[in-house]
Structure formats: structure tokens, C-alpha cells
Amino acid sequence: MIHGLVPGRELFTTHADITYSVIWGFIFANLLMGIVGLYVAKYFGKIARIPNYLLAPSIILLSVVGSYAIGNNIQDVYTMVIFGLFGYLMRKLNYPPAPLILGLILGPIAETGFRQSQILANDGILLYILSNNISLILFVLTIISILSSIYLELTKKINYEKNIS
């Protein structure tokens, strides 16, 4: 979209030369990386044998240098350290990091969609969402999903407490 290529049928008709060039480029790159990967796999496997006392400081050093290099700002390094400590605490407290990462990535997209539907609805956003059958089904499935996860957690807690006593 940045280069003026809009996803849709025109991508394969009007801009077919560019689209198919990109597709063939991806196919060629995958084949080439497959061949190269077969030859260098044994060397990459040796990386797994590097002891942690050498590997951990190297990863930390590269992370600090990388976070500083993005914006040439020490605040980026502080942000990296804070989020690193937050991730460490999440792991120690047995909270999965995947939902947080998904929320950080998909949150702005969902917020944009919600604002667009607010603009389309003028007022009464819930009635606007529920006016379409597909939207209504997805809304009900979302509510069922949330309630079922809460129910499963509560029953797991109750069963755990019964087993203890």
C-alpha cells in the first residue's frame, strides 16, 4: 500500500508485473534459503552448545546496543530494561507472555476499527454492532469465549481446593 499497490483484484490485473515479480522473488528466495540452510544447519546447531555463561552476556550486550541504536537515545535502553524485568516477573509468576504481546500488537488495530464503527454509528455503538447478523454472531461468540474461560478457571480452582482439603 505504501507503493500505491492496493490489495484486491487490481493487484493481479493492473499491477500484475510487480505482483508476480514479488511472488517469483519469494519463491526463489525460499528455494535458495532452503539450499543454503541445508548446508549451514550443522554450524547453526553448534550455537546451541555454547555455554550459558558466554551466551547470556552476549545476548544482553547485543540487546542494549540494538535498543540504543534504534533511536540513539538512552531512554530506549531504560524502556528495554523495564520491559525485560516485567517479562522476567511474568515468567516467575507463571503468567504467559503471549496474550500481552498479542494485545500490544492487535490493540491499536482493534482501537482503530472501534473508532471507525463509532463514527459510522453516530450514537448507539452497541446497536450498530448488533444490527448485522455476522457481527451479532461474533459478539455472542466473544461473550461465550470470555465466560467459558472464567468458568473453567473457577472450576479448576474449586477442584484444586477440594483436592487439598
Dihedral sign for Cα atoms in the order 65, 71, 73, 74: negative
Q: Are 39 and 31 a contacting pair, CB within 8 Å?
A: no
pLDDT on residue 2: 64
Q: Given a cut of 90, is residue 124 above it in pLDDT?
A: no
Q: Given a cut of 80, is residue 161 above it in pLDDT?
A: no
φ, ψ for residue 50, nearest 5 deg: -70, 130
**Full domain range(s) for residue 7:** 1-49
Tens-place pLDDT, residues 101-113: 898 899 999 898 8
pLDDT on residue 62: 95
DSSP structure string for the chain: -TTS--SSTHHHHTTHHHHHHHHHHHHHHHHHHHHHHHHHHHHHHGGGGS-HHHHHHHHHHHHHHHHHHHHT-HHHHHHHHHHHHHHHHHHHTT--SHHHHHHHHHHHHHHHHHHHHHHHHSS-HHHHHTTSHHHHHHHHHHHHHHHHHHHHHHHHHHHHHHHH-
Residue 158 included in any domain: yes
Residue 63 included in any domain: no
**Range with the largest mean pLDDT of 8-12, 132-136, 144-148:** 144-148
Residue 18 included in any domain: yes
Q: Which residues contact 11 (CB under 8 A, 6 or more apart)?
A: 5, 19
CA pair distance 23, 21, nearest whole angstrom: 5
pLDDT on residue 164: 75
Q: In the listed set 11, 29, 49, which residue is the last one of a domain according to the structure?
A: 49
pTM of the prediction?
Answer: 0.49
Q: Given a cut of 70, is residue 24 above it in pLDDT?
A: yes
Tens-place pLDDT, residues 40-85: 988 888 888 889 899 899 999 999 999 999 889 999 999 999 999 9
How many domains does one find in the chain?
A: 2
